Amino acid sequence: MDFNMKKLAADAGTFLSRAVQFTEEKLGQAEKTELDAHLENLLSKAECTKIWTEKIMKQTEVLLQPNPNARIEEFVYEKLDRKAPSRINNPELLGQYMIDAGTEFGPGTAYGNALIKCGETQKRIGTADRELIQTSALNFLTPLRNFIEGDYKTIAKERKLLQNKRLDLDAAKTRLKKAKAAETRSSQLNSARLEGDNIMVNFSYMLNFLHVKWLKSEQELRITQSEFDRQAEITRLLLEGISSTHAHHLRCLNDFVEAQMTYYAQCYQYMLDLQKQLGSFPSSYLSNNNQTSGTPVPSSLANAVGSPAVASTSGIVITSPSNLNDLKESSGSRKARVLYDYDAANSTELSLLADEVITVFSVVGMDSDWLMGERGNQKGKVPITYLELLN
């Protein structure tokens, strides 16, 4: 207990000495030991690296996860060292809504089938987005965070210790300077002609006391100078590692760019595939905004298949109903090209692939929107809006 009290008293004295030295420096009443230019440049470089790394890391997190509540939740789970629960992202949610809507409208309808195709693509984009977040967090954000929470904290700790050693050194210099000044004044008084032996004895005693104090201050200065130099070297070695940190962050940045490139390439390919699946929109997709004339498209034109005919609006071909009527009135069959993919809703329908050629024929009593399709040994109903009759 006695040892602890002495240590506490010594620490309190050191703290008070540093506080006095710091205050006098701010008031311009004490000299300050300046660091060498190389060390100052390293300190400035480390501080700049820390500031910009924090900004880049935070903005990358915003880019990957725009929802602030989700970011807070992930932060809490990370601090608790627990895995955050998996949540559906926005493209996946949009895709699910599209699929549900397409199922409700009917996969056999043009709009319902298109919604399902778009929904499946959106879900694939959502999966790619999830992979981008995971890859970027592992290869880019984690190294940046490790620097802020690890390497830079060590640098800041050693930098603070260097500051304390500098205050100790300057305080020792101040005490030595004061001791020298006091001894000089005592020597001047001791050399003066004073009467009385007692007075001379007192001055001699004072001179010896100040000389001992001066020697003690010199020894303290040598110790503090040695500790300051050693701490400056330790800090310098740590700061010189910032260049290696920049090289490491450059590799991480390349990984992040590759992850983004892969993500956008996947999204582009998904949309190309979707565009091919949708193919040429049938005339039933036309709206008044896309028509060249103010008159609406008759229902007979919306259900027509065959050779191109009277009008073409916005690159969408409207076919004549004559071939369809001839086919329905005759008992024969015709070849037809499939415009885009169709998934059969039940066993009475026939699944279709874009650009394939099948045989179609009419059956008495069948709905006007459907024909009977045949491909090899497979037969089933097919929607006429997915077909183009061939001559």
Please state the pTM of the whole predicted model: 0.60
Q: Which pLDDT band holds residue 10 (cuts at 50, 70, 90)?
A: low
- H or E element: which one contains 66? none
Query: What is the average per-residue pLDDT within 266-272?
Result: 94
Rounded percentage of the chain residues whose pLDDT exceeds 70: 72
Q: Strand 387-389 to strand 378-383: parallel, antiparallel, or no bridges (unpaired)?
A: unpaired
Residue 53 has a CB neighbour count (10 Å cut-off) of: 19
- Written as six digits, the tokens of 18 are 């540093």
Of 63-72, 131-140, 266-275, 374-383, the one with minimum mean pLDDT is 63-72
**pLDDT value at 35 more than 50:** yes
pLDDT of amino acid 328: 55
% the chain with pLDDT above 90: 39
What's the pLDDT tens digit per position in 195-252? 444 454 454 545 455 455 556 777 888 888 899 999 999 999 999 999 999 999 999 9
The more confidently predicted of residues 21 and 3 is 21
Distance CA 131, CA 265 (A): 13
Strands (E), 87-245: none
Task: Supply the mean pLDDT for the chain.
Answer: 78
Range name among 61-75, 167-181, 273-287 with the lowest pLDDT average: 273-287
pLDDT in tens, 121-151: 999 999 999 999 999 999 999 999 999 999 9
Beta bridge partners of 373: 360, 380
Rounded Cα distance, 301 and 306, in Å: 11
Of residues 40 and 340, the one with the higher pLDDT is 40
Provide CB contacts within 8 A for 179, sequence distance 6+.
Answer: 210, 213, 214, 217
Q: What is the pLDDT of residue 237?
A: 94
